[in-house]
Amino acid sequence: MTRSTGSTTLNARITTTLPGAEVLLRALVEQGVDVIFGYPGGAVLPIYDALFKQDHIRHVLVRHEQAAVHAAEAYARSTGKVGVVLVTSGPGATNAVTGLLDAMMDSIPLVCLSGQVPTPLIGNDAFQEADTTGITRPVTKYNYLVRKPEDLAPAVHEAFAIARSGRPGPVLIDLPKNITVGDAPYVDAKAVTPRTTRMTTQPDRAAIARAVAAMKAGKRVLFYTGGGIINSGPQASETLRKLVALTGFPVTSTLMGLGAFPGTDRRFLGMLGMHGTYEANLATHACDVLVALGSRFDDRVTGRLDAFSPNSFKIHVDIDPSQINKIVHVNEGLVGDVGQIMALMIEEWEKQPAYAHKAELEAWWAQIEGWRALDCLRFGQDQAPDAVIKPQQAIQRIYELARQTGRDTYVSTEVGQHQMWAAQFFRFDAPNRWLTSGGLGTMGYGLPAAVGAQIAHPDALVMDVAGEASTLMNIQELGTIAQYRLPVKIFIINNHYMGMVRQWQELLHGSRYSESYSDALPDFVKLAESFHATGLRVTRLDQLDATIAQALAHDGPVLVDICVAEGENCFPMIPSGAAHNQMILGPEQEASSATISKEGQMLV
Amino acid sequence: MQVEVSGSAVISLLVDNESGALARIVELFSGRGYNIQSLTVAPVDEHGQTSRVNIVTTGTQSSIWQVKTQLERLVPVSRVVNLTAEGPYVAREMALVKVVSSGEPRTEALRIAQAFRARAVDTTASSFVFELTGSTDKLDSFIELMRPLGLVEVSRTGVASICRGPQTIQNF
Ligand SMILES: Cc1ncc(C[n+]2csc(CCOP(=O)(O)OP(=O)(O)O)c2C)c(N)n1
Ligand SMILES: [Mg+2]
């Protein structure tokens, strides 16, 4: 790794001077921005005025700044571009904080522009002043307070480079009002050398060769893929497919990595971790070589650390050197872009002597098929016409009926049981289609995320698989959906509980359902109608398919209130503090889990 | 599981001299639960654009390695070197030590100060301020010796460090 010193360098002469707000928009256009998600206020009025006078950038007016960030996240995740957010000072900026941390945890490239009081007033507790750079420092990859007009354009250009480079993430630019009102010089992107260029990492060929040699020596190899592959771009997903085809090894994925490898392929074992499949978790436990590709050994994945994949040689590919050996000690750490490193692995695989453990690989697959035969996601749906719908049934049918439409489909979720069921039942064939809050687990993510995805892909089918409790956290976005006539399909899996909380209370706290009942819910059908959308409700099994189909066929926004069984739990489940081979597979085993230790209770 | 031993390490950084850079570094330590024993910072280049930060921290080898890679991720940080791991280095700090006493303890304080090559930079009929430069250990023992002799106040700079020999922080 080599680095040079010095701050952002200006390479060229300044050519034009414009009002700061116009400099800002011009820099955004040069960075390829076509949409901004935002909400106005006093400190950003000059920027809104400049937006009014141009037609390169479209502004999408959300109903809450947190939603602006989630919408921009989904826009970024589903397009591969940098998402852009614009908020006012003070409460506008503080409302954005949750979204920024969400983007930080899930490595989503964003640039958030916030208004600020004029520089002479900073520090005076002026109206709507907040120490925005101070508040957002730990939730952004980097942030700026632009104090001088000449710093404006370079900051914008560098911010995009930082958001995109390495492990992507959110960058905030705080813009005092005197900077956006006053004149500022414009400089081109190519005149700025961002400090990201200080870090140049060349893949270590020798380490790749050693890693591939270990894979060739392995008899039970497993790929464990993560969101890094999605971030690397669609090319990386292609390369993963080639690598798997070449080696014949099984693949499991984290929540964030779903779609990088086709979910319908036999070699895909499903998601691993806390709510992962039986076959994925037992394979992780039993493998002798574990190849982590753009994944970070998150605690939802590893379970009890000292029992995580105990006998495997571990290879870890990550673009961020600080991830390697952070949680799990690995035998071979490869720093670099995961797509590029997988391509080099393929080269190396072809160069090295042929794989000599074909018979053992077959035995490995036979073992995996044995696990798979258990059909760990099965659920007993009563088939009577008026039977209560199980949440799993609802989610499976949403998936299957959406698939039958043949349309390009984007799926967002809220947070809870429905999110985990969606991760289990939806089988994605392509990357960038799955939009969920992984690292932070932010309730209220799904509805604004659907807004962002539909804005980015106006002709695609965009669905939000939601819980009744989470949806209420950003329900105001129905207004945004109405204003822009976004034909989003919202499926509320309404179990009248914060289901995931109820499940943990059942398991760990003697079924004392403290404050987890969703009381006094609104009439979601009327709620949808009051926001100019179509509202549907289904309560019995025999109407489920028809209702979902009706929603999918409608060309406007639809909210479907699917009233489901209240007591279902999400399985398989590795209770906190347990190992992968201590999975609870269903309600029958739940009783024995009453023995979850005090240490387990302390974990989240 | 193997238990790793904790030790202390001196980490030196080159940092863009911009507002917030130091806050970023300090918050990284507090946010991730790493510990800072001492910290020094001052601009070191001719234009005042680059500052050098020296941090003494304690932790296991792997946690110190984590600190280093986390610091490297910070945008304004251009260079991070764990001097303790990279070979011989010099680490020195300065202390100002105030002693208020008279009679026997006062003469004894002056005698010890001479033995340590501490300078009396302020003297009154009842007090001394000694200036002492050296390793952290040397400063510690001087302060311990002054304690019974009327020590009332201590001010220390924290460690400044640099590697020995012709090498610089730039070419590790
Ligand atoms: C903002 C926020 N607050 C609290 C939580 C903790 N939490 C996780 S899941 C959950 C319940 C979600 O309920 P619902 O949306 O109805 O989904 P379900 O689990 O019932 O499918 C809660 C409260 C969270 N993840 N995010
Ligand atoms: Mg619920």
Per-residue 3-state assignment (H helix, E strand, C coil) for A202-246: CCCHHHHHHHHHHHHHCCCEEEEECHHHHHHCHHHHHHHHHHHHH
| Distance, CA of A226 to CA of B74 (rounded, Å) | 23
Q: State whether B78 and A134 contact (CB < 8 Å).
A: no
Q: Report whether pLDDT(A473) > 80.
A: yes
Crossing angle of helices A417-425 and A391-404, in 10° steps, is 40
Nearest CA to ligand 1 atom 4: A443
Q: Which of A500, A503, A568, A571 is catalytic?
A: A500
Ligand 1 binding pocket, CB closer than 6 Å: A 414-418, 441-443, 467-470, 493, 495, 497-501
Strand partners, B99: B128, B151
Q: Confidence band (pLDDT; 50, 70, 90) for A602?
A: confident
- Grade residue A4 by pLDDT with cuts at 50, 70 and 90: very low
Domain ranges in chain A? 3-199, 205-372, 391-563
Q: Which fold has domain B90-160?
A: Alpha-Beta Plaits (3.30.70)
Cβ distance B75 to A162 less than 8 Å, yes or no, reads yes
CB A187 within 8 A of CB A10: yes
Whether pLDDT at A165 is above 90: yes
Residue type, A238: E
| Residue bearing the bigger pLDDT, A30 or A589 | A30
Report residue A587's pLDDT band, with 50, 70 and 90 as the boundaries: confident
**Which residues of chain A lie closer than 8 angstroms to B18, CB-CB?**
7
Chosen CATH of A205-372 out of 3.30.70.3000, 3.30.413.10, 3.40.718.10, 3.40.50.1220: 3.40.50.1220
Query: Cα A413 to chain center, whole Å?
Result: 10
Give phi and psi for A513, each to the nearest 5.
Answer: -85, 70
Confidence class for position A3, pLDDT limits 50, 70, 90: very low
- From ligand 2's centre to the CA of A476, what distance in Å? 18
> What's the 3-state SS for A40-70?
CCHHHHHHHHHHHCCCCCEEEECCCHHHHHH
Atom of ligand 1 nearest to the CA of A442: 26
Q: Nearest bound ligand to CA A416?
A: 1
Task: Name the token pair of A521.
Answer: 């819910």
Phi, psi of A222, deg, nearest 5 = -140, 135
| Share above pLDDT 70 across residues of chain A, in percent, rounded to a whole number | 96
Question: Which pLDDT score is estimated for B3?
Answer: 61
pLDDT in tens, B6-30: 899 999 999 999 999 999 999 999 9
Fold assignment, B6-87: Alpha-Beta Plaits (3.30.70)
Those residues of chain B whose CB sits closer than 8 Å to some CB in chain A are 1, 14, 16, 18-20, 23-24, 27, 31, 49-50, 62, 65-66, 69-70, 72-73, 75-76, 78-79, 170
Residues A413-449 have pLDDT tens digits of: 999 999 999 999 999 999 999 999 999 999 999 999 9
CA-nearest of A494, A489, A495, A496 to A548 is: A489
In this prediction, residue A2 has a pLDDT band, given cuts at 50, 70 and 90, of very low
Q: What single DSSP character describes residue A414?
A: -
The answer to whether the B6-87 and B90-160 domains have the same CATH topology is yes
The band of A10, judged by pLDDT with boundaries at 50, 70 and 90, is: low
Q: What is the DSSP letter of A127?
A: T
Q: CB of A1 within 8 A of CB of B68?
A: no
Min CA distance, A152 vs chain B (Å)? 15
Radius of gyration of chain B (CA): 19
In this complex, is the C-beta atom of A6 within 8 Å of any C-beta atom belonging to chain B? yes
Average pLDDT over residues A128-157: 98
Among the partner-chain residues A5, A134, A324, the one whose CB lies closest to the CB of B78 is A5
The whole-angstrom separation of Cα A408 and Cα A432 is 11
CB A538 within 8 A of CB A562: yes
| C-beta of residue A515 within 8 angstroms of C-beta of residue A368 | no
Q: What is the reported pLDDT for A53?
A: 97
DSSP label of A511: T
B135 CA to chain A: closest CA distance, Å?
Answer: 29
The catalytically annotated residue of A22, A31, A37, A65 is A65
Q: Amino acid identity, residue A339?
A: G
Note which residues in 130-149 of chain A have CB less than 8 A from chain B. 133-134, 137-138, 141-143, 145
Q: Judge if A3-199 and A391-563 fold alike in CATH terms.
A: yes
What are the boundaries of each domain within chain B? 6-87, 90-160
Residue of A nearest to B1 (CA): A306
Q: What mean pLDDT is predicted for residues B37-54?
A: 97
- Shortest Cα–Cα distance, A321 to chain B (Å): 6
What's the pLDDT tens digit per position in A505-561? Answer: 999 999 999 999 999 999 999 999 999 999 999 999 999 999 999 999 999 999 999
Backbone phi and psi for residue B53, each to the nearest 5 degrees, phi listed first: -115, 130
- Give the model's confidence band at A265: pLDDT under 50 very low, under 70 low, under 90 confident, else very high: very high
Residues A127-141: tens digit of each pLDDT: 999 999 999 999 999
Partner residue facing B75 (CB), from A1, A142, A322: A142
Q: Check whether A493 has a pLDDT greater than 50.
A: yes
Q: Which of A97, A500, A504, A568 to probe ligand 1 with, by most ligand atoms within 8 A of CB?
A: A500
Cα-to-centroid distance, A541 and ligand 1 (Å): 25
Q: Does domain A391-563 have CATH number 3.30.360.10?
A: no
- Shortest Cα distance, chain B CAs vs residue A194, angstroms: 10
Q: Which amino acid, one-letter code, is at A4?
A: S
Query: Is a pLDDT exceeding 50 seen at residue B1?
Result: no
CA distance B50 to B42: 8
Contact A304/B at CB under 8 A: no
Q: Which of A1, A7, A166 sits opposite B18 (nearest CB)?
A: A7
Q: What is the C-alpha separation between A236 and A259, in angstroms, rounded?
A: 11
Q: Which ligand 1 atom sits closest to the C-alpha of A419?
A: 21
- Dist CA B148 CA A476 (whole Å): 69
In this predicted structure, what is the pLDDT of residue A5?
39
What residues flank ion ligand 2 with Cβ within 5 A? A 467-468, 495, 499
Please check whether residue A305 touches B, CB under 8 A.
no
**A359-400 per-position pLDDT tens digit:** 999 999 999 999 999 999 999 999 999 999 999 999 999 999
Phi-psi region of B117 (alpha: psi -120 to 50; beta: other; left: phi over 0): left
Contact yes or no for A218/A357 (Cβ under 8 A): yes
Residue A18, both tokens: 């414009």
What is the C-alpha separation between B75 and A529, in angstroms, rounded? 48
Residues of A in contact with B30 (CB under 8 A): none
Token pair, residue A225, equals 């893929």
Let me know if A73 is a catalytic residue.
no
Contacts of A419 (CB under 8 A, 6+ apart): A413, A436, A465, A467
pLDDT of residue A198: 76
HSE at residue A565, side-chain half, CA atoms within 13 A, is 19
What was the pLDDT predicted at A593? 56
- From A70, A95, A398, A415, the mutation candidate for ligand 1 (largest count of ligand atoms within 8 A of CB) is A415
For residue A596, the model assigns a pLDDT of: 63
Contact B53, B13 (CB under 8 A): yes
Closest ligand 1 atom number to CA of residue A416? 19
Please say if A313 is a catalytic residue: no
Residue pair A244/A267 in contact (Cβ under 8 Å)? The answer is yes
Q: Could B20 and A145 be called an inter-chain contact, meaning their C-beta atoms sit closer than 8 Å?
A: yes
| Residue A562: both structure tokens together | 């699917």
Compute CA B11 distance to the chain's CA centroid, rounded to the nearest angstrom.
10
Beta carbon pairs, A and B, within 8 Å:
54
ipTM: 0.93
pLDDT of A11: 54
Alpha-carbon gap, residue A490 to A496, rounded angstroms: 17
CB-based contacts of A247, cutoff 8 Å, min separation 6: A215, A221, A349, A355
Given the residues A81, A141, A177, A390, select the one marked as catalytic: A177
Specify the pLDDT at position B100.
98
Q: B78–A162: do the CB atoms touch at under 8 Å?
A: no
Distance A92 CA to ligand 1 centre (A): 24
Please provide the CATH number assigned to the domain covering A3-199. 3.40.50.970
Give percent helix, percent strand, percent coil of chain B, each to the nearest 5.
35, 40, 25
Residue in A470, A515, A562, A571 to alter for ligand 1 test, most ligand atoms within 8 A of Cβ: A470
